[in-house]
Amino acid sequence: MLKVQKITKLFGKKKAVNGVSFEINKGEIFSLIGPNSSGKTTIVKTITGLLRPTSGSVEIGGIDVAKFPEKTKAQVGYIPDEPTVWSYMTGEEFLYFTQALFGVPESKRKANIPKLLKIFKLQGSEKDYFEDYSRGNRQKFSIVAAMSHDPKLLLIDEPIVGLDPTGAEIAKNIFLEYAKKGGSILLVTHTLSVAQEISNRIGILKDGKLRAVGTLAELRRKAGLAESASLEEVYMKLA
């Protein structure tokens, strides 16, 4: 579903991403972990088309993002690390607007909104303005909005930050169910327990380079650790 091939991104003379390649298959959750300034968010923004790679390519569903940006973006749901929405837009308007952007038929937009609100039990708050929402509720609206057009690929940058424990558990279950139905997920997170719990494969990024990729069992072997080692222990060894 996603193919990242030897992408490099320069900001002036700084090489934020250096020859990174990986693929995500249909129905797979792939987590990208690494220290701050390792290039994770730059990679996500390159995949979405918000940034262009200095070299290399990104394909979504076999289509080049740089050559066909609208066609590829139509297949993607993006949950950024900071949910930023116009302050004077209500949650309901945001869900309607997002569906309209992605071409959901008008007859379905209003009908979908109650279903989307129900996921995180947001009923009753949909008429409030975004500036009045807590950080957690802004995140919840961002998650359901990103899924409102049934994307084939979800790009998620720190989805759990700001969510209460119940909301975090709901989010994890949403992502697992989405993958079970054939959706693909790229998850960028510092919450290693979440990555360990829901990922099929994990990539460890450092200084713009992908240092290791594999299942948790494969990464444990690469790190020379026991089968019971946590992802945190693996990460500390490899990164």
Q: Are strands 153-157 and 184-188 parallel, antiparallel or unpaired?
A: parallel
Query: Minimal CA–CA distance to 43: which of 147, 193, 175, 186?
Result: 186
- DSSP assignment of 19-83, as one string? EEEEEE-TT-EEEEE--TTSSHHHHHHHHHTSS--SEEEEEETTEETTT-HHHHHTTEEEE-SS-
pLDDT band at residue 107 under the 50/70/90 scheme: confident
Query: Minimal CA–CA distance to 37: which of 193, 209, 187, 191?
Result: 209
pLDDT band at residue 133 under the 50/70/90 scheme: very high
Query: What are the beta bridge partners of residue 64?
Result: 59
What is the structure's pLDDT at 36? 86
Contact call for residues 210 and 20 (beta carbons, < 8 A): yes
Q: d(Cα 110, Cα 107) in Å, to the nearest integer? A: 7
Range from 4-8, 149-153, 161-165, 219-223 carrying the lowest mean pLDDT: 161-165
Q: Residue ranges per domain, the chain?
A: 2-75+152-238, 85-151
pLDDT digits over 76-93, tens only? 999 988 877 888 999 999
Q: Which CATH class is domain 2-75+152-238?
A: alpha beta
Q: d(Cα 167, Cα 174) in Å, to the nearest integer? A: 10
